[in-house]
Amino acid sequence: MIEDIELAKNIIAKRIAREFKNNQLVNLGIGLPTMVANHIPQGVNVILQSENGMIGMGPAPEPGKENPEVTNAGGAMVTILPHGCYFDSATSFALIRGKHVEYTVLGALEVDQEGSLASWIIPGKKVPGMGGAMDLVVGAKNVIVSTLHTERGKPKILKKCRLPLTARHVVNMIVTELGVFRVTPGGLALIEINKDTTIDEIRANTEADFIVSDNLKTMEV
Amino acid sequence: MIEDIELAKNIIAKRIAREFKNNQLVNLGIGLPTMVANHIPQGVNVILQSENGMIGMGPAPEPGKENPEVTNAGGAMVTILPHGCYFDSATSFALIRGKHVEYTVLGALEVDQEGSLASWIIPGKKVPGMGGAMDLVVGAKNVIVSTLHTERGKPKILKKCRLPLTARHVVNMIVTELGVFRVTPGGLALIEINKDTTIDEIRANTEADFIVSDNLKTMEV
Amino acid sequence: MFDKIINKNDFTSLIKDGMVIMVGGFLGCGTPETLIDLVLASGAKNLTLICNDTSFVDRGVGRLVAAKQAAKVITSHIGTNPETGKQMVEGTLNVELVPQGTLAERIRCAGAGLGGVLTPTGVGTVVEEGKQKITVDGHEYLLELPLRADLAIINGSSVDKAGNVVYNATTRNFNPLMAMAASVVVVEAEKLVEPGALMPELVMTPGPLVTHIFKSEKR
Amino acid sequence: MFDKIINKNDFTSLIKDGMVIMVGGFLGCGTPETLIDLVLASGAKNLTLICNDTSFVDRGVGRLVAAKQAAKVITSHIGTNPETGKQMVEGTLNVELVPQGTLAERIRCAGAGLGGVLTPTGVGTVVEEGKQKITVDGHEYLLELPLRADLAIINGSSVDKAGNVVYNATTRNFNPLMAMAASVVVVEAEKLVEPGALMPELVMTPGPLVTHIFKSEKR
C-alpha cells in the first residue's frame, strides 16, 4: 500500500493528466481532480471548463491580481486564458449534457463494478447536494473517477454502491493510487498497476470483482 | 365601405398604434402591421421586437448608412435604437413564448369568432410557412389581428376558420377599417365603429356572429 | 423615459412573507448583496428561495438562510453553508435538491413559456422520484417542470436605464435565466449607465425583462 | 496550437451525398455564403437542409434548393423562395415546416443533450399531427424532439483561431444553436483573429464547439 496520502493523490492526478489529448475540453471536480491540472504534460493544450460559466480556465491569480468576478465552480478566484470565454448556467450545462465535454474527472464516496457512482449524500450524516455532478457524469463523453483505493482501510470500489447514486452505469475509468480500472460491458478490468503494489494486494483492498487485463501495464506516473 | 385600400390600411395602423402604453414590448408582423410603427403617438415609447433577434428596432437606415448585419424579420435593413440589444433565435422565442412580449400584431387570411386564426397556408395554392407566427400568437400577452374587413368582397371574420389554423382561441382583438372587435369568452363584441360606416354595413360584411357593445365608441383614428 | 430606478423603500415594499424569490449568483459570485441586505432588514419570513447554492453563512443568499427567513430552499448544493444542513436536520427548513443543469433548465422553461423538458440527468437516482419518465428513441428521460418565482433579484455588472444588463466574467451564471422567470425582476446595478452606453451584443438580459433597477451599494 | 483552419479542398471533402446539413442565417443575414458556394460546387445531392427559411433563389441556403441539391428541407418559412414551393408541389422536395420557435428549441435540445421539450406552440393545428401530447398543470403541450445534423455550416463575424465566435448584430440568429447540434461544425470567419483578441463576454460560441474554421471570401 501507499501510506502517504499526498503521494497517493499525486500519483492519481499525474496518471489522469496523461489521459488527455490536445484541445480536449475537460471538467475537473473539486479536490483531488483539481490537482490534475498541475500535471498536464507540456505540449498538450487541455481546455478546462468550469461549470459556473467559463472555458479556458487558467491558474489561480498572482497575488494582487485577484478578480472576484472570475471564479471557479468551487468559488475560488481563478484566471482566464486567451482562448477562454464566459457563459451562463444554461449554456454551461448544455455544453456538459450535450456531450461537448470530453472528460469529467470527479471523486466518489463509492464506485462500483457496474460503473455506477455515489458522491453527493450520506443520508443522515452529510448532504452537500449533487451540484453539477449528476449532469457531468451523464453528459461528459468520458467519466473518470479519481479516488484513493480505500478510506480508513475500507474499499471504495464495490460490487454495488450502497449510498444513493449520482448516476448509474456511467463511469468509464477508475484511477486509484494502486491502479487503473476500465469499466467494460463485461465488468471491471484492471488495466494498469502501480509498480509498488501487487495484484493480490489490490484484490485484498477491492470489494468489486475484476479481471486482470491480458495486457496489464505498469502505471506510468 | 372604405374603398381606398391605402386609406383603409392607415386607419387600421393608426388605431392599433393607440393601443400601446409606454415601455411595452411589441412585435409587429410584416406588411400592414409594420405600418403601425409609423403611427405611435408622441411620448409613448414602444419597444419593438424583431423575432430574428433584436429589441429596440428603429426605422430604416438613411441612404448610405445601411448595414446588412442589422436586419428585421422580413430581411430588410433596419437600425437599432440606444435602448436596443441583440440575441439568438432561442432567446428571441423564449421572450415570445414566455409572455414577455406585450402585443403581437399580425395579419390573417381568416380570423373567427372563437379567436382562432389562419395565416400561414392555403393548401394546394400557397404555402409560405408559419415562420414565427405560431409562437407569437401563443406566447404574446395580447394578440391583435389587423386585417381589411373583406377581401375581394368576401368577409375575413368568420364563424369558424376553414383554412388550417395558426392557433386556436388566441386572438384578443381584431381591428379592421370598419371597426374594432374584442374576443370575449361569450363571443365577438364590436366595441368601436368607424364614423364612416354603420352597424348594418358591418353585419353585411361579417360572417361571424357578434354583439354590439353597450358601450360602443367611435373609432378614433 | 424608462422610469425603472427604485430606492430602498420601494424595494422593501415588494417583499412579502411567504413569497418565492430567485436569487442570482454562484457561491456568492454575481449575487445582489445590497438587495439581500434589504431582504434581511425587511424581516420577511417563510420565504421560498431558489438559488444555485446556499453560499456561505455570511455571504450572498446564505445570509437569508442563516437568518432563518426561509421555509424552503430549491437549490443544487448546500455543502458550503452549514446552517442549511442544520436547519434541514432540525426540520425547520425544507430543502429540495435539484441537479444544477436541471435547475437551470427548469428556470429557463418557466421564462421561455415551455411546459417542461426531458433530461437524462437523475435517471436511476432518487431525483426521479415522483417524476414522469418518458422514453424517446430507446433512452429514458425525466420530465422536469418549470420553476418560476414571484420575485427575482439579480446582479448586473453594468445596467443601462432601459434595464439592459451586462454581466462581467463568471457573474453571469443564473442571473439571465432568473431574469426571465419571475413576475417582478429587480437588478442590482453595480454600474448604472445611459441607454446606448452598452454594446448591444454584450447585453444578456434585454431591458424589458427588468421591472426595477436598484443602484448597488456594494463596497 | 488549435489547428482548426481548413482550405476549400478540406471543406469539400467533408460534403457527402445524403448528409444532413444545418445552415445558419435568417433570410440570408448571417449565412456562410462562401461555404454554400463550395457545397454548390461539390454537386452533392439528396441533402437534408435544416435552416430557418429557404432564403432567396440567389442568396444563402436558397441557392442549394434552386440547384436541386436538397431532397428534404426542415424549415419554418419558404415564402421568399419560389423554387422551394415549386419543387414541393412537383413532389421532388420534401418540406417539413416547423414553427420558428420550435425549430430553435429542437436544435437546442440536440445540442444540450435534452430528450425533448414541451411547447404550447402548434397545439390545435396540423403541427400536432403524429406528436405526443402531454398535459402539465391543465395545459396541453406538444412534445417536440431534438434535431441534429451531420454538419453545421455557420457564419461568424469575428472568429479566433481557438474557434471562439462573435456574431455582430442580427447575424446571430440560428448560428450559435446549430454550432452545438452537429457532429462537425464549420464556421466561415469574416474576420479571423488570434486567441485573446475577442472579449470573452462577447463570445457566443465557445471554441471547442467549432471543428473547423474557414476564412470567408465574401466580398
Full set of structural domains in chain A with CATH: 5-218 (3.40.1080.10)
Within a 13 Å sphere around the CA of A30, how many CA atoms are in the beta-carbon half?
A: 17
Q: Let me know: does D83 contact D67? Beta carbons within 8 Å.
A: no
DSSP E strands: which ranges in chain C? 20-23, 47-50, 70-75, 94-97, 116-119, 133-136, 139-144, 149-156, 158-160, 165-166, 182-189, 192-193, 212-215
Average pLDDT rounded to a whole number, residues A114-125? 95
ipTM: 0.98
| Residue in D closest to C138 by C-alpha | D115
Question: CB–CB of A70 and C170 under 8 A?
Answer: yes
Q: Output the CA–CA distances (angstroms, integers) from residue D64 to A21, B52, D22, D51, in the order listed.
A: 37, 22, 12, 12
Residues of chain A neighbouring C22 (CB-CB closer than 8 A): none
Residue of D nearest to B52 (CA): D173
Q: What pLDDT does C1 receive?
A: 79
From the list B83, B97, B100, which residue is nearest C195 (CB)? B83
pLDDT band (50, 70, 90) for residue D218 = confident
B120 φ, ψ (degrees, to nearest 5)? -130, -5
Per-residue pLDDT tens digits for A155-166 = 999 999 999 999
Q: How far apart are CA A152 and CA D215, in angstroms?
A: 58
Confidence band of D13 (pLDDT split at 50, 70, 90): very high
| H/E run at residue B117 | strand B117-118
C-alpha cell of residue A89: 448556467
- What is the reported pLDDT for C127? 98
Cβ of D167: how many Cβ atoms within 10 Å? 28
Mean pLDDT, rounded, for A143-154: 96
Query: What are the catalytic residues of A?
Result: 51
D98 pLDDT more than 70: yes
Chain B residues closer than 8 Å to D78 by CB: 127-129
Location of C-alpha cell 460491458? A185
D118 touches chain C (CB under 8 A): yes
Taking only the tens of pLDDT, chain C with its 219 residues reads 799 999 999 999 999 999 999 999 999 999 999 999 999 999 999 999 999 999 999 999 999 999 999 999 999 999 999 999 999 999 999 999 999 999 999 999 999 999 999 999 999 999 999 999 999 999 999 999 999 999 999 999 999 999 999 999 999 999 999 999 999 999 999 999 999 999 999 999 999 999 999 999 986
Q: Mean pLDDT throughout A35-57? A: 96
Average pLDDT over residues D106-135: 98
AA identity, residue B40: I
C-beta of residue D55 within 8 angstroms of C-beta of residue D27: yes
Cα–Cα dist B22/A96, whole Å: 41
Classify residue B159 as exposed, middle or buried by CB count within 10 Å of its CB (0-12, 13-18, 19+).
middle
Record the cell numbers describing residue B39, joined without a space.
403611427
Q: pTM of this prediction?
A: 0.98
3-state helix, strand, coil in chain B (%, to 5): 20, 30, 50
Question: Side chain identity at C108, as an amino acid letter?
Answer: R
Hey, CA dihedral for A182, A183, A188, A189, is it positive or negative?
A: negative
Q: Is D130 left (phi over 0), alpha (psi -120 to 50) or beta?
A: left
**In the prediction, which pLDDT does B133 show?**
98
Residue where the block lists cell 415588494? C14
Asked if A121 contacts A127 with a C-beta cutoff of 8 angstroms, the reply is: yes
Mutate to test the interface with D, among A70, A78, A83 (most CBs of D within 10 A): A83
- Residue B33 is predicted with a pLDDT of 95
Q: What is the dihedral of CA C112, C114, C119, C121, to 10 degrees?
A: 60
- Grid cell 478578480 is found at A67
State CA C23 to chain mean position distance: 3
Q: Indicate the pLDDT class of residue D126, thresholds 50, 70 and 90.
A: very high
Give the separation between CA C162 and CA C1, rounded to whole angstroms: 8
Q: Is D203 on the interface with C (CB under 8 A)?
A: no
* CA B42 from centroid of its chain's CA atoms: 20
Rg (CA), chain B: 17
The count of residues in chain A is 221
Give contacts of D167 with chain C, Cβ < 8 Å. 201
Check whether B127 has a pLDDT greater than 80: yes
In a mutational test of the A interface, the residue from D203, D205, D213 whose CB has the highest number of chain A CBs within 10 Å is: D203
Could you give the dihedral angle defined by the CA atoms of residues C127, A86, A14 and A209, in that order, rounded to the nearest 10 degrees?
20
- Average pLDDT over chain B reads 96
CA distances C20 to A151, B88, C57, C208, D94, Å, are 41, 29, 20, 21, 48
pLDDT at B136: 98
**A96 has a chain C CB within 8 A of its CB:** yes
pLDDT digits (tens, 9 = 90+) for D35-58: 999 999 999 999 999 999 999 999
Residue D69's pLDDT is 98
CB contact set of D118 (below 8 Å; sequence gap of 6+): C114, C115, C116, C117, C143, D134, D136, D141, D142, D143, D144
Q: What is the pLDDT of residue A221?
A: 80
Q: Which domains does chain D have, with CATH numbers?
A: 18-117+147-215 (3.40.1080.10)
Q: State how far the Cα of D126 lies from the Cα of D108, in Å rounded to an integer.
A: 23
- pLDDT score of C219: 63
Query: Which whole number is the average pLDDT over D118-147?
Result: 97
The minimal CB distance from B86 to the residues C3, C196, C200 is found for C200
What is the rounded distance in angstroms from the CA atom of residue A76 to the CA atom of residue C67? Answer: 25
Q: Where are the alpha helices (DSSP H) in A74-155?
A: 89-97, 133-139
Contact with chain A for residue D203, Cβ under 8 A: yes
Nearest to C174 among A89, A133, A135 (CB): A89
CB D60 within 8 A of CB D23: yes
Paired with C192 in beta bridges are: C159
